[in-house]
Amino acid sequence: MKAVLCRQYGPPETLTVEETESPKATKGKLVIQVKACGVNFPDTLMIQGKYQFKPPFPFSPGGEVAGVVKEVGEGITHLKPGDAVFALTGWGGFAEEVLADGSKTFPIPDGMDSVTAASLMYTYGTSYHALKDRANLQPGETLLVLGAAGGVGLAAVELGRIMGAKVVAAASTDEKLALCQQTGAGETINYSREDLRERIREITGGSGVDVIYDPVGGDLSEAALRSISWRGRYLVVGFAAGSIPSIPLNLPLLKGCSVVGVFWGAFAEKQPKDNFKNVQALLTFYQKGEMKPHIQAEYPLEKVPQALTEMMHRQVMGKLVITP
């Protein structure tokens, strides 16, 4: 089978496309013929050795796939060859076939195509867990989303709208903000030319935002936290800007607010039943037509380096999907 391989840590252009051995199903695992694999920010970190998971070389990046079951290992009873499935694999998905854990593989519901199925779990799973389980977002509350047109950001905008919040999208270009408006943001802030704090003051009449969803980090974080409302919840989701901010601890004291960590992967491992319920809720939103992932482009395996470079250069709105 063909696979994109990372043989040493480096930038996307060091990845190669090669013929390799097909994986074999083992106990509790199954082989999926990959039809689509979503691109996520951690893929860019993993190939550079900057992510918390470091698979042995050579490995294929690509953490969420959709495809058809080719072979099932001992102990798997809920799936059989030929079933259309989507799965979280962590890595290995930028390939024609991948080995997946039975416990992290789910049947694709009727009416959903594989590109959509490969674009759901990571971004929407993270954002739903963040907004529902960590922030307890309530209808009528104000939600500020930073990096709002990115993968997890756009999912947060959409889910915020579904959950009845007033969504304020903040991003670096007007084109990105136009997409956020189409997806459910009532207000927008272009933080490359507008002052974040001043605009939040204007939008909220000075009371601040109730929930802040921050997958960006860097300099934006402290300015955002200074604009949170009394008893607000600040969600620490990621550091796409590259630097991990240090926050003065007097701010949560003065605001009476909570700074809340979000680690969806660990949540899915430690609370699989709760995660399963969240996935079911997301599938229901999709089936009711309330939610639809925005796919910017589909690329073949050969264009994985281009896809990862676009992500690292802030050129992606919503999702890129690899279709081997």
For ligand NAP, give the closer residue by CB, 84 or 117: 117
**Minimum distance from residue 262 beta carbon to ligand NAP (Å):** 5
For ligand NAP, give the closer residue by CB, 66 or 177: 177
Is 294 one of the binding residues for ligand NAP (CB under 6 A)?
no
- Residues in contact with ligand NAP, counted by CB under 6 A, come to a total of 30
> Closest-CB residue for ligand NAP?
150
- The radius of gyration of the chain from alpha carbons, rounded to an integer in Å, stands at 20
**Minimum distance from residue 49 beta carbon to ligand NAP (Å):** 15
In the region spanning residues 159 to 198, those forming contacts with ligand NAP, defined by CB under 6 A, are 171-172, 176
Q: Which candidate, 74, 92, 9, places its Cα nearest to that of 44?
A: 9
Question: Distance between CA 257 and CA 310 in Å, rounded?
Answer: 36
For ligand NAP, give the closer residue by CB, 74 or 219: 219
In the list 48, 186, 223, 239, the residue contacting ligand NAP (rule: CB under 6 A) is 239
Half-sphere exposure of 43 (CA within 13 A, CB side): 33
Question: What are 84's strand-pairing partners?
Answer: 68
Q: Measured at the alpha carbon of residue 124, what is the angle toward residues 121 and 129, in degrees to the nearest 5?
A: 100
Half-sphere exposure of 148 (CA within 13 A, CB side): 35
**Minimum distance from residue 178 beta carbon to ligand NAP (Å):** 12
CB 68 within 8 A of CB 83: yes
**Minimum distance from residue 308 beta carbon to ligand NAP (Å):** 10
In the region spanning residues 5 to 64, those forming contacts with ligand NAP, defined by CB under 6 A, are 40-42
Dig out the tokens for 118 from the structure. Answer: 């490969």
**Minimum distance from residue 198 beta carbon to ligand NAP (Å):** 18
Any residues with CB less than 8 A from the CB of 113 and at least 6 apart, and which?
none
Q: Could you give the string, one character per residue 93-132, with x where binding to ligand NAP holds by CB under 6 A and - elsewhere?
A: -----------------------------x---x------
Three-state SS for 73-129 is CCCCCCCCCCCEEEEECCCCCCECEEEEEHHHEEECCCCCCHHHHCCCHHHHHHHHH
The DSSP symbol for 59 reads B
In the list 23, 93, 153, 305, the residue contacting ligand NAP (rule: CB under 6 A) is 153
**Minimum distance from residue 266 beta carbon to ligand NAP (Å):** 8
The residues binding ligand NAP (CB under 6 A) are 40-42, 122, 126, 147, 149-153, 171-172, 176, 215-216, 237-242, 262-265, 311-312, 314, 316
